[in-house]
Structure 1
């Protein structure tokens, strides 16, 4: 670990930037972005857990799709953190910090069946989607159209993933049950 004693920016601080967002507005926006950043990483780790542990006849398709979701979440996290920094904030960092600030409760370490795992993912996406919608409205009210647009793009992807996960839980499947005559 570094022995550097001088802190350049304190976590939780917001400074003025060339983007000229009013300090009170910037604080609210950074808080919103950090909340969504935390939610993104909690969801990311849950999705990765399910990606690693999925089993069954439909393993490959579910495994690959969960990997795609994880990649999208990682990209979204990067965009959220960079926007928080651009408007003068300090992006959250670290697993415990993410869990503390996320509106999503971490699933835990146990492994569940694929259906339960996907149901848990849909529930977590629902919380994430609600948070994004709230923060989109906030960004619009505060006149930060760039943050509003960023959050809309992330929302669109999140809604698409939640919708596609629902399809995995439908009763129509290529896997047949054995029947006795």
Structure 2
């Protein structure tokens, strides 16, 4: 008799969830780095508010990434969050490194938040369909934070 919920999941489902979590982990790390890129380089009216907001957003993104990484390990896999893996596996469009205008950063970040949020929502459905409600719940928590931060960033436009 299984002693934990994860043992009730078949090995192939656990591996599918580990892969799904790592895909979203790569996007979360890429988005975190994009937010820091904007934080360091943003200029314009409202600078200080956006600059400080982006630090808070990066912290929340790291928390979400941590949840996904830990869940992958709980399921018996490995969290794959190195720069090499993220560079290869992230599906989010690369963030421009040569902009400083506050409006350009807001637009670029909002687009990427919308994309990453959409990928997480697809993953929620996949996890639910696979019968892994705990992974779906973690992804839902990540999705809520992404939506909220996309709204915070977009409200500056």
Is this a same-fold pair by TM over 0.5?
A: yes
Instruction: Confirm or deny: 8 A CA contact 2:43 2:100 kept in the other structure.
Output: no
Structure number with greater CO (CA < 8 Å, separation at least 6) is 2
Unmatched 5+ stretches in structure 1: 1-16, 170-181
CA distance in structure 2 between the partners assigned to 1:95 and 1:28 by the alignment = 22
Matches within 5 A, 1:151-162: 151-162=139-150
**What corresponds to 1:125 in structure 2?**
113
Deviations along 1:45-77, whole A, 9 cap, x unmatched? Answer: 010011111222311100111111000001111
Distance change in 2, residues 1:55/1:112 (3 Å): closer
Unmatched 5+ stretches in structure 2: none
CA distance in structure 2 between the partners assigned to 1:118 and 1:81 by the alignment = 27
- 1:115 Cα deviation from its structure 2 partner: 0.8
Q: How many residues align?
A: 153
**What corresponds to 2:64 in structure 1?**
76
TM-score of the superposed pair, with normalisation by structure 1: 0.80
The structure 2 residue matched to 1:54, chosen from 38, 42, 45, is 42
- 1:113 Cα deviation from its structure 2 partner: 1.3
Which secondary structure state, in structure 2, belongs to the residue aligned with residue 71 of structure 1? helix
**What corresponds to 2:12 in structure 1?**
24
The structure 2 residue matched to 1:147, chosen from 128, 135, 138, is 135
CA distance in structure 1 between the partners assigned to 2:42 and 2:97 by the alignment = 14
Max Rg structure:
1
TM-score of the superposed pair, with normalisation by structure 2: 0.92
- 1:117 Cα deviation from its structure 2 partner: 1.1
Tell me which moved more, 134-143 or 102-111. 102-111
Instruction: Confirm or deny: 8 A CA contact 1:42 1:102 kept in the other structure.
Output: yes
* 1:115 paired to 2:103: yes
Cα-Cα RMSD:
1.4
Instruction: Confirm or deny: 8 A CA contact 1:136 1:148 kept in the other structure.
Output: yes
* 1:87 paired to 2:75: yes
* 1:103 paired to 2:103: no
Structure having the higher helix fraction is 2
CA distance in structure 2 between the partners assigned to 1:154 and 1:104 by the alignment = 16
